[in-house]
Copies of this chain bind each other. A is one copy, B any other.
Amino acid sequence: MTSYAQTSSDELHALRAALEDEYNGFKAKGLSLNMARGKPSAAQLDLSLPLLDILSSTSDLRAADGTDIRNYGVGTGLPEARTLMAVLLDDDPANVIVCGNSSLNIMYDEIARCMNFGTLGCAPWATLDTVKWLCPVPGYDRHFAITEQFGIEMINIAMDDNGPCMDQVEELVANDPAIKGIWCVPTYSNPGGVEYSDEVVRRLARMTCAAPDFRIFWDNAYCVHHLDPDPAHHAHVLDIGAACREAGHPDRYLKFASTSKITFPGAGVAALAASPANIAEIARMMNVQTIGHDKFNQLRHVRFLKDADGIAAHMAKHAAIIRPKFDLVEQKLSEGLADVDCHWSTPRGGYFVCFYGPAGTAKRIVELAKEAGVTMTGAGAPFPYHKDPEDSVIRIAPTLPPIEELDLALDVFVCCVKLASVEALLND
């Protein structure tokens, strides 16, 4: 076949007419399909139903240390919950604080604390003229929404197959003390599916920062969310904590994780890990914000997931459900888009496929899909201020729809990509 770019104008006109026919056919179906958000499907949620039977009125409601979980207290989380979450955080339970249901909330609160109070003796960020933040792109829209709400100036950092472009990062942080942090999703990044290389992790830990209170926000949201049953094909990203300690910057990182996409989104358990100095400061500040988080849900998760092996066994069940969906995305895009100047990620885990269309087509593709009843994540969403400089990136979230719906949604998407690409070429 001939790529669209090498096709004559007459042929493109004919192609557009044919694609419009196909597209109108989809539109006539009155579809309502969704590939927008990284949500587990109902079948995945079913996997965690036994969690609801763990604690009943006749259960032992004491933690291992004898704490009556029904009453106030234990601000840093039940000891056994800290041990469980330390598995996800790749850290010592002593460095872990277990919180409520949302790791995003922990990240937000940490930035709020740094804004209001500063950290480890440095000035409150809110007292500075400018605060800047490094945003590897494409990235997670909800991260960028936090830094945007706090008026923090966001700087795009290019991503490649190894993580953020470290030459760019090192140059910036060495020279600008206003740069206070970086968003990182090191394992199966959202949406790129990138696994940070050891070298990238070590350079992040080692680099010279003009700001002594520069912080790596290490959102390991997909740390155990592998797609392949073979552990040899799982990502094993280096621990940023160990790397920072080795590099002599022990307080530089804050690690976050949750069980939102392990058990139930919105009713999971979230936690952070950091250096002893950071943990002590956060625990002290947090003790004014709340008396403690939900210890029932902590104990439920401990008794349900048990340990690293329990988590791995549970995640294998998730993988069995979603792997065919990722395979279908790969198959449909490969089959349908051979002629289009585009590419996409083939992640080994996480929740997204990242699609890179011809420059200037992403908004149009999403618009076309929307009009045909297929909701995609908004074009621009994976970028600070919703501005994709190339207008080319679209995040595909294949997990939520049943596979038959996904199949149809992908047919629509492929048609929209082709149509938008032909339109773009004809408008050149």
Contact = CB atoms under 8 A, between A and B. Distances in A.
A124 to B, nearest CB: 8
Contacts of A290: 101-102, 104-105, 108
Contact of A39 (B71, B104, B149, B267): B71
A19 interface: no
Nearest to A100: B100
Most B Cβ at <10 Å: residue of A52, A68, A264, A295: A52
Contacts of A285: 149
A237 interface: no
B294 A104 contact: no
Interface stretch (A1-9, A55-63, A202-210, A409-417): A55-63
A20 to B, nearest CB: 35
Interface stretch (A42-50, A171-179, A224-232, A312-320): A42-50
Contacts of A296: 52, 264, 266-267
Interface in A132-146: 142, 145-146
A425 interface: no
Interface in A102-130: 102, 104-105, 108-109, 112, 115-117, 126
A411 to B, nearest CB: 25
Nearest to A270: B290
Nearest to A41: B71
A56 B52 contact: yes
A101 B57 contact: no
A17 interface: no
Interface in A7-59: 37, 39-40, 42, 45, 48-50, 52-53, 55-57, 59
A331 to B, nearest CB: 26
A392 interface: no
A402 interface: no
Contacts of A49: 57
A50 B57 contact: yes
A108 B289 contact: yes
A423 to B, nearest CB: 34
A265 interface: yes
A265 B290 CA distance: 11
A360 interface: no
* Size bin of chain A's contact surface: 35 or more
Interface string A70-110: 11111000000000000000000000000011101100110
B297 A72 contact: no
Given A72-B37, A294-B294, A288 B57 contact: no
Contacts of A150: 116
A291 interface: yes
Nearest to A72: B265
A336 interface: no
Given A108-B289, A285-B149, A266 B126 contact: no
A210 to B, nearest CB: 24
Nearest to A292: B266
A267 B295 contact: yes
Contacts of A39: 71-72
B55 A289 contact: no
A109 B109 CA distance: 9
A11 to B, nearest CB: 45
Given A116-B126, A146-B288, 13 more contacts: A39-B72, A42-B68, A50-B57, A52-B55, A71-B264, A73-B266, A74-B266, A100-B100, A100-B293, A104-B290, A105-B289, A109-B289, A146-B289
